[in-house]
Structure 1
Amino acid sequence: MSDTINHIRNAITNNISGLEQFQSALDDATLAKSIAGALDLIYNMKGRLIVAGMGKSGQIARKLASTFASTGTPAYFVHPAEASHGDLGMIHADDVLLLLSWSGETQELSDILEYSKRYNVPMIALTATKNSTLADKSDIAIVLPKVTESCPHNLAPTTSALVQLAVGDAMAVTLLRMKGFSTAAFREFHPGGKLGAVLTPVGEIMHTRDTLPLCAQSAPIIDVLGKSSEKSFGVVGLTDDAGALVGIITDGDIRRYITTKSDGSMKQAMWETQAHEIMTRGSICFTSDQLSAHALYVLQENKISTAFVLDGGKPVGLITMLQLLSAGVA
């Protein structure tokens, strides 16, 4: 067992070393200039980013195309072999090519190389060989450090594939920042699953209209208790004459208040005391455009289960911890 874990540890250490080599290589002016030039080229393109590669580089290229596309840079993967059988027609002059080949001599990329030159399609190479065919024929060559593979024979693409992935992801994230790609825009590309739930605005899942537990701040405590029982949220919002939220009363507030009045007149405690006399001011609230993930975080941090959603100071919704968890926000 100890040998097995040591092999795992060594492989991970080697992968980390490969990433550190690339990070250190960024201090080289030539590499930094190439990456910056590639980002500018992609940022200013009118078409789409075409990502291609074979073997393990092809698997990384396919993943990177997905990452670019989901972060605001139109992109798709073209298989080099399929390109030679008709898919070259998917590549237009307004596009930019990003070709991955660790050796820079991948034979299957040759038709794409010739096509790009014939139709003046800008080409970026992601390779580890400076004087390779791919680097020489590209408009911009991002030459990565020749890392040692985690494979004990230094043959299977392992660490090299990880470095390609890290570089591509870093470029995608940098473009995201350059384009000012917002969380709202991000959700447009991720409407489903866990990520879609996290990025859902509070306004899309909150309780609204007649379901809201609201009372006037001048209402007697007995009315607040009735509203709390009717709506079953454990909290009642109190509004002023203009309809703005001025405070809240929880079920716990009512219980504690009744306890303090147990020796006095229940009529005075329940019918003659107005809600604003025991309410809590300055409660935590949200706006309908805030993300569900943020709402859940705030509720958890403040150890509360419910909060009102306001528009111009007026309550338009109510969001609960149960709603958020049921929607998949966690």
Structure 2
Amino acid sequence: MDQTQSSSKALTLARHVLRVEADAVAALADRLDGAFDEAVALILARRGRVIVSGIGKSGHIGRKIASTLASTGTPAYFVHPAEAIHGDLGMIQRDDALIALSNSGESAELLTIVPIIKRQGAKLIAMTGNAASSLAREADVHLDAGVTQEACPLNLAPTASTTAALALGDALAVALLDARGFSANDFARSHPGGTLGRRLLTHVRDVMRSGDDVPSVTPEASVAEAILEISRGGIGMTVVVSAERRVVGVFTDGDLRRAFAQDIDLRRARLADVMTPRPRTLAPDRLAVEAVEMMEHFKINQLPVVDDAGTLVGALNMHDLFQAKVI
């Protein structure tokens, strides 16, 4: 077969798959009804956890749904139905809710554990493609995830049906997230190793320089003394402080260039004559991402860190935030 023809056929088939799966999800949105509200209310009313179960491709989708629920404020885990009938049923308690996934609604492994689960008091949400199936009839709530066709040309391999079930699981997780008032900070606490976690959990005090690492001079210092302090500190500035260590200004590389441009006699000038007074500052308990936003907004590269009284407690520059992977 000609390679160009083969490529064209592959592209045509790929577009067909994507359109079939997109149509399946769109149809699912139009078909949602009060059963979805009932499922949300059932889960919110349970004091236990959500257990998700399914076998085959439905099991893979179930694992992802359980993971999404757990990371968005609804404690959840996946239990394989075949393992459940060999001891893992002990993981499911009376205050739990079970979400059972099966496109046919006739998975034998799931139907085996359903009576036991219901007998001990757990609630059942079935997610199937057949509202007349055994699993749907046994459920406290049935969520219709049916599709008119699979994207597979043979109409056999689970493709559109698994996409629809995954999307429905995401919709359930997001609805629960909203109902629980789950915030970005909550999300960061369950993802401390990710970029969002670093951005939302890192505070200025975690990345700032403190103690002797903070360059500082008094307003009476000479420009030469300030330059030496800038070099020692390595952050492109020195903070200018009063006798009580309150921040009254900063002196940066830019201030030095401006002083040269104004033809100021730098051998005689005191720092009070050439510093930037009343600089932008930040408190140590603010988020590091707020320091980034402030630097970008005011086009500055360094910030003194002060306590409630305006006393110098630290300093940081953009490089410190890069190193902490906040940016």
TM-score, shorter chain, exceeding 0.5: yes
Q: Please give the alpha-carbon distance, in whole angstroms, between the structure 2 residues aligned to 1:91 and 1:260.
A: 77
1:66-85 aligned at under 5 Å gives the runs 66-85=67-86
Alignment correspondent of 2:4: none
**Is 1:215 the counterpart of 2:221 in the alignment?**
no
- Partners of 1:297 and 1:265 in 2: how far apart? 36
Residue from 233, 236, 244 that aligns with 1:234: 236
Q: Following TM superposition, by how much is the alpha carbon of 1:300 offset from its aligned partner in structure 2, in angstroms?
A: 5.2
The answer (yes or no) to whether the contact 1:286–1:295 under 8 Å persists in 2 is no
Match of 1:172 in 2: 173
Q: Is the 8 A contact 1:221 1:274 kept in 2?
A: no
Report what 2:107 is aligned to.
106
CA contact (8 A) 2:219 2:271 kept: no
Contact 1:99-1:124 within 8 A present in 2 as well: yes
Q: Is the 8 A contact 2:51 2:77 kept in 1?
A: yes
3-state SS, counterpart of residue 98 of structure 1: strand
- 1:91 positional shift: 0.6
Deviation at 1:77, TM superposition (A): 0.5
Q: Deviations over 1:221-266 (max 9, x none)?
A: 33332221110101233345664445433212212212322xx533
Using the alignment, how far apart are the partners of 1:81 and 1:242 within structure 2?
71
The aligned counterpart of 1:143 is: 144
- Alignment match, 1:266: 266
Identity of aligned residues (%): 38
1:273 Cα shift? 4.4
* 1:153 to partner: Cα distance: 1.8
Q: Distance in 2 between matches of 1:246 and 1:25?
A: 64
User: How many residues of Structure 1 are paired with residues of Structure 2 in the alignment?
Assistant: 319
- Tell me if structure 2 keeps the 8 A contact 1:126–1:143: yes
Shift of 1:297: 5.5
- Which AA in structure 1 matches 2:315? L
1:316 & 1:166 partners in 2: Cα distance? 49
| C-alpha separation in 2, matches of 1:59 and 1:267 | 73
Give the AA of the match of 2:239.
Answer: G
TM (normalized to structure 2)?
0.85
Would the aligned equivalents of 1:80 and 1:109 in 2 still touch at CA under 8 Å? Answer: yes
CA deviation string 1:83-130 (max 9, x = no partner): 011111111001111111122111110122111221121111112211
Q: Return the alpha-carbon distance in structure 2 between the equivalents of residues 105 and 252 of structure 1.
A: 73
Does the aligned pair in 1 maintain the 2:79–2:88 contact within 8 Å? yes
Matches within 5 A, 1:186-197: 186-197=187-198
Residues 21, 145 of structure 1: 8 Å contact kept: no
Shift of 1:319: 3.7
What amino acid sits opposite 2:57 in the alignment? Answer: K
Residues 260-302 of structure 1: CA deviation (Å, up to 9, x unaligned) = 22xx533223xx3416x5306453646534154x554654566
Q: Report the alpha carbon displacement of residue 174 of structure 1 after superposing the two structures with TM.
A: 2.6
Write out aligned runs for 1:1-330 (5 A). Answer: 1-26=7-32, 31=33, 33-202=34-203, 203-217=205-219, 219-240=221-242, 243-261=245-263, 265-269=265-269, 272-274=270-272, 277-279=274-276, 281-283=278-280, 285=282, 287-290=284-287, 292=289, 295-296=291-292, 299=295, 304-312=300-308, 313-330=310-327
SS in 2 for 1:307: strand
From the superposition, tell whether residues 137 and 279 of structure 1 become closer, same or farther in structure 2 (CA, over 3 Å): same
Q: Distance in 2 between matches of 1:177 and 1:171?
A: 10
Q: 1:69 to 1:310 in 2, by over 3 A?
A: farther
TM-score by length of 1: 0.85
Cα deviation digits, residues 126-157 of structure 1 (max 9, x gap): 12211211111111111134243221122211
What residue identity is the alignment partner of 1:288?
A: D
In the superposition, relative to structure 1, how do residues 326 and 20 fare at CA in structure 2: closer, same or farther (>3 Å)? same
- Please list every run of 5 or more consecutive structure 1 residues that lacks an aligned counterpart in the other structure: none
Q: Check the 8 A contact 2:146/2:161 in 1, yes or no.
A: no
Task: List per-residue Cα deviations over 1:133-189 (Å, max 9, x = no partner).
Answer: 111111111113424322112221112212211221222223223223333333332
| Larger deviation, residues 196-205 vs 76-85 | 196-205
Distance 2:27 2:93 in 1: 35
Shift of 1:58: 0.5
- Give me the CA root mean square deviation: 2.7
> Larger deviation: 282-291 or 98-107?
282-291
Aligned CA distance change for structure 1 residues 134 and 315 (closer, same or farther; 3 Å): farther
**Superposition deviation, residue 42 in structure 1:** 1.6
Partners of 2:285 and 2:241 lie apart in 1 by: 19
